[in-house]
Amino acid sequence: MQNQIISVVGELRSDKIDSVTAGIMGTLIVSGSHELAAQANYICVNDVDLLEGLVKNKAEKTVVLTPKNYYTKYVFHNGVECVPEFEDLVPYNFDPYKCSQQSMSLALACWLGNPVIALFDYLLEPKKETPALKAIIKLYPLIQFLYVREKKGNKIGIFDDMLNVKQMDYKEFVNFYEKYVLRKN
């Protein structure tokens, strides 16, 4: 069975992702040193201090992505790559050195491309993170984004005007995944 979901784990550092949910996240992109880094397909990092530790401790299958100037130190290492230029984001002055690691992860997910991208433990913050997230979501109207929290709590209104975003908790995500996979196969 192929995974049809790309999951981005953000930098909220609040939700504990249980093993059931972690097992169905599909292609996993982790931002910085999240506890799920050990099972990530990709780790996006633009913090030099974190980078060395992540490169040293990464799993064999994991690819660590970092901006070019930081990458040069690890050119000869296996499983470390330079973050690609995200062509769609060039007009928006996307800067891999200055953006958050979770924005880089999200940009990578959109660049890789998939009908469904799920966001876990994703930090929302009105100054920078939320506008960046909304801008990227608007740029990809054909991608269904899932904003997934451990517990849904109060519904966040910031996505109300966006048709391609669904908010859900882990249980709903598991249901969505099962239906989505069943429908696809």
Partner 1 sequence: MSLEKINTENKLKYHVVIEWLPMCRSRSVQTLKQRPDLVYKINEFTKRIINLCETYKNPIQIDQNYNMLGIRTWWQNGQDLYHFLMNQEKNNLRVIPELGVINQINGKLMMFKFQVKKDGIFVI
Residues that bind partner 1 (CB under 8 A): 63, 65, 68, 72-73, 75-78, 81-84
On the CB side of 39, CA atoms within 13 Å amount to: 15
Q: How far is the CB of 81 from partner 1 (least distance, A)?
A: 5
By the 8 A CB rule, do 13 and 79 touch? no
Nearer to partner 1 (CB atom), residue 68 or residue 179: 68
Nearer to partner 1 (CB atom), residue 108 or residue 137: 108
Q: How far is the CB of 54 from partner 1 (least distance, A)?
A: 16
Q: How far is the CB of 21 from partner 1 (least distance, A)?
A: 26
Nearer to partner 1 (CB atom), residue 75 or residue 182: 75
Nearer to partner 1 (CB atom), residue 111 or residue 140: 111
Alpha carbons 104 and 90: distance in angstroms, whole number: 13
Which residues touch 100 (CB under 8 Å, ≥6 apart)?
Answer: 11, 31, 123, 128, 129, 132
By the 8 A CB rule, do 141 and 117 touch? no
By the 8 A CB rule, do 39 and 120 touch? no
Q: How far is the CB of 72 from partner 1 (least distance, A)?
A: 4
On the CB side of 130, CA atoms within 13 Å amount to: 9
